[in-house]
Amino acid sequence: IPKTANGPADEAADDLTLLAERHLVQPWPVSGSIGAEARGRLDAGEGIYVTDASGRRLIDGPAGMWCVNAGHRNRELAEVMASQAMELSYNSPWYTTNAPSVILSARLAEHAPDGVDHVFYTTGGSSAVETALRFMQFANNVKGRPEKKLIVSRQGGYHGSTYLSASLNGRPRDHDWMDSASDLVVKLSCPDPFRRPDGMSVEAFCDFLVEEFRQVIEEKGADRIGAFIAEPVMASGGVIVPPPGYLRRMQDLCRRNDILFIADEVVTAFGRLGHVFASKEVFGIEPDMITFAKGVTSGYFPLGGVMIAGRLFEELRRSNHSEAMFAHGLTYSSHPVGCAVALKNLDILEGGLLAHARAVSDHFQQSLKALEELPLVGEVRGLGLMACVECVADRASKNPLTLDLEVGKRIDRHCQELGLLVRPLIHMCVMSPPLTISLEQIDDMVSILRRGIELTMDDLTREGLW
């Protein structure tokens, strides 16, 4: 986001740029600019819009990072945060509890699949995934089967940035320069129907994916596999909607082999797919654990958690190790302010926002789908209010445009000029706006995106790159 060069506000902007370059380390930096980078600054937000440092208003296409579900500047969320902070700003979860976290647990249990009725709160998605995995390890230790700890994840998946959660990630950049606990993880193929092998039907592709998992279980042994983790719709991997029936069939294999199914709903929960949790309502699955974060507070407060099936605790209570401690907790587990915000956010979702998200999602998907007319676009796919526009160099071969062209960044630059923030992922643009978006705003968003792609095609043609 470029800044203009006049007036005192701009001097302040320059100062902040300098300070950021000197002192701030941004997440996901590259070594060429690590610790010396100032990213485009946002100063304000209102509804689906954000305002950048130059005063320009932009549609927040990715809702921050898939999280500002109730939209920016929601007064109810802001007020409940302030009033809870004035009431009880913090309590130690080590020896006390608070009302908002208890009430929230019961309300979340009402939305989760039957029996998935307990919640462990964390500070975000990575810590939620970490908690689910450590709980699986703990439970298998207590149950006297310490060998049953392998975790099965998928290529293309993203589950976090702590050591164990990051070890599950399946995008090359997550492992190129980073260490991981690779001996604990087995990765299956990405369930991406667009990139299925040539000549294979979607149904046959689904059979292949399920068979691959079955073979892994056979090879490694069911007695060594503790959990399977999957985002119901892979988010950062490019909004990958798996083939119909895939998740249910993977769940069947888990059930038959006593493998815990962890649905990572950090993105898909809290309205993104029109429901509080998507597992049962959208995909007909009933996971043993569901991780969530982001939309639980619409991004107003860092909070996450894991929903856990109560029967898993019953099994532990029946074991012979009543003294075994699940030595895992966070200073901010069950934070009263976070839970109060989440309760209000749930009121907003139940009070009409879920219904609104469901009502506008067809228009959202169809309008974006029309961008497939553009020759640069290989596929537009999505579900609910999340979608991805994948650009290809050549439609027949589905070749992605190469990294050095940075097509997503080019589109994003044009769109920002026109009033839309895009989330570029190399050659893909992900759209997941605040759920409050209206039909007219969807039209605005899509027409800016269309123009941004057209301008990018012009640039690539002029530069002889495409």
Residue 38 in contact with residue 21, Cβ under 8 Å?
Answer: yes
Could you tell me the smallest distance in angstroms from the CB atom of residue 210 to ligand PMP?
Answer: 22
Could you tell me the smallest distance in angstroms from the CB atom of residue 302 to ligand PMP?
Answer: 7
384 binds ligand PMP (CB under 6 A): no
- Among residues 72, 111, 118, 159, the one that binds ligand PMP under rule CB under 6 A: 159
Could you tell me the smallest distance in angstroms from the CB atom of residue 87 to ligand PMP?
Answer: 26
- Among residues 160, 242, 338, 382, the one that binds ligand PMP under rule CB under 6 A: 160
Question: What type of residue is 309?
Answer: A
Binding span for ligand PMP by CB under 6 A among 37-45, 120-128, 252-260, 446-454: 120-128
Could you tell me the smallest distance in angstroms from the CB atom of residue 27 to ligand PMP?
Answer: 9
- Among residues 124, 295, 299, 452, the one that binds ligand PMP under rule CB under 6 A: 124
126 binds ligand PMP (CB under 6 A): yes
- How many Å apart are CA 455 and CA 460, to the nearest integer? 9
**Given the complex with ligand PMP, which of 121 and 158 has the nearer CB atom?**
158
Provide φ and ψ at 53, rounded to 5°: -65, -20
**Given the complex with ligand PMP, which of 124 and 382 has the nearer CB atom?**
124
**Given the complex with ligand PMP, which of 42 and 65 has the nearer CB atom?**
65
379 binds ligand PMP (CB under 6 A): no
What pairing do the DSSP bridges indicate for beta strands 225-230 and 150-154?
A: parallel
Q: Which of residues 162-221 bind ligand PMP (CB under 6 A)?
A: none
158 binds ligand PMP (CB under 6 A): yes
- How many Å apart are CA 342 and CA 296, to the nearest integer? 6
Residue 225 in contact with residue 260, Cβ under 8 Å?
Answer: no
Interior angle at CA 378, CA 369 and CA 198, nearest 5 = 120
Could you tell me the smallest distance in angstroms from the CB atom of residue 263 to ligand PMP?
Answer: 10
**Given the complex with ligand PMP, which of 53 and 104 has the nearer CB atom?**
104
Q: Which of residues 37-66 bind ligand PMP (CB under 6 A)?
A: 65
User: Which residue's Cβ lies closest to ligand PMP?
Assistant: 125
Tokens encoding 249: 């069939």
Binding span for ligand PMP by CB under 6 A among 121-129, 136-144, 390-398, 435-443: 121-129
**Given the complex with ligand PMP, which of 206 and 266 has the nearer CB atom?**
266
**Given the complex with ligand PMP, which of 233 and 457 has the nearer CB atom?**
233
- Among residues 62, 64, 71, 125, the one that binds ligand PMP under rule CB under 6 A: 125
Binding span for ligand PMP by CB under 6 A among 1-9, 134-142, 231-239, 437-445: 231-239
Q: Which of residues 259-318 bind ligand PMP (CB under 6 A)?
A: 264, 266-267, 293, 304
- Total binding residues toward ligand PMP, as defined by CB under 6 A: 16
What pairing do the DSSP bridges indicate for beta strands 399-400 and 386-394?
A: antiparallel
Binding span for ligand PMP by CB under 6 A among 153-161, 394-402, 405-413, 428-436: 153-161
The CB-side HSE value for 185 (13 A sphere, CA atoms) comes to 22
- Among residues 108, 235, 343, 435, the one that binds ligand PMP under rule CB under 6 A: 235
Residues of the shown chain interacting with ligand PMP in the complex, contacts defined by CB under 6 A: 65, 124-126, 129, 158-160, 231, 235-236, 264, 266-267, 293, 304
